[in-house]
Amino acid sequence: MPAEIAALRDGGEAAWVFAYGSLLWDSEVRDATAEEALLHGYHRSFCLYSYDYRGTPGHPGLTLGLDRGGSCRGAALQLPADALDRAWQREMSGRPVYAARLLKVHTAKGARRALAFTALRNCADYAGKLPLDDAARIILGAAGRRGTCRAYFENTVRHLEQLGLADGPLRRLAERVRALAESDGI
């Protein structure tokens, strides 16, 4: 853990983490104080291949990352040190696909510095912006040790909708996943 991030943990106060995907519904941080937040400069994207959790080396899945450009509505979660350590372990163990950055997020209570896990574009797992049909087919067909890519995708979309965090590109991808599933009889 970089010194700047460790200082947050070791400072005795709860740290803020920007949640944009499954951290929004992860049971380990469910009791965290949450504020709706807007992050400029990054957008939510299924831009990372998953060769383990949501896919295999022979049939990779896709997972979310914060990719450069645009903006992203999510939540700033205030985490105590032990929960921050669990979030760090969850996001930063295994293959290096994220960079941990302290970024400014905007909430109704003002700007906050929050830890955000952003996609590493120079890693082998970076899928980038895939054509809609390609991404939808990967999501429909991949499964790994933590379940199917489709279940992860649908759970994320459902939770974002429940929280009122509209995401146009994700909604278009969800429509394409449904259409392909219907046409393929899945």
**Long-range CB contacts for residues 30-33, cutoff 8 Å, separation at least 24:** 32/77, 32/78, 32/79, 32/83, 33/77, 33/78
For every one of its 186 residues, what pLDDT tens digit does the chain have, with 9 covering 90 and above? 666 666 666 666 668 889 898 888 776 666 678 899 999 999 999 999 999 889 999 999 999 999 999 999 999 988 776 666 676 666 657 677 888 888 999 999 999 988 898 999 999 999 999 999 999 999 999 999 989 999 999 999 998 998 898 789 999 999 999 999 998 777
Q: Which CATH number does the domain housing residue 168 bear? A: 3.10.490.10
The H or E element containing residue 124 is none
Burial of 34 (0-12, 13-18, 19+ CB in 10 A): middle
CA-based nearest residue to 169, from 155, 147, 153: 153
- 35-69 in b/e form (b: 16+ CB < 10 A) is bebebeebbbbbbbbbbeebbeeeebbbbbbbbee
pTM, rounded to two decimals = 0.86
Closest by CA to 36, choosing from 88, 77, 79, 64, is: 77
DSSP classification of residue 126: B
Return the beta strands (E) in the chain as ranges. 15-19, 33-50, 61-79, 98-107, 110-119, 143-144, 147-148
Tell me the residue range of the domain where 155 lies: 3-184
Output the furthest CA–CA distance in the chain (Å, rounded).
54
pLDDT of residue 185: 74
Report how many domains make up the chain. Answer: 1
The predicted pLDDT at position 2 comes to 64
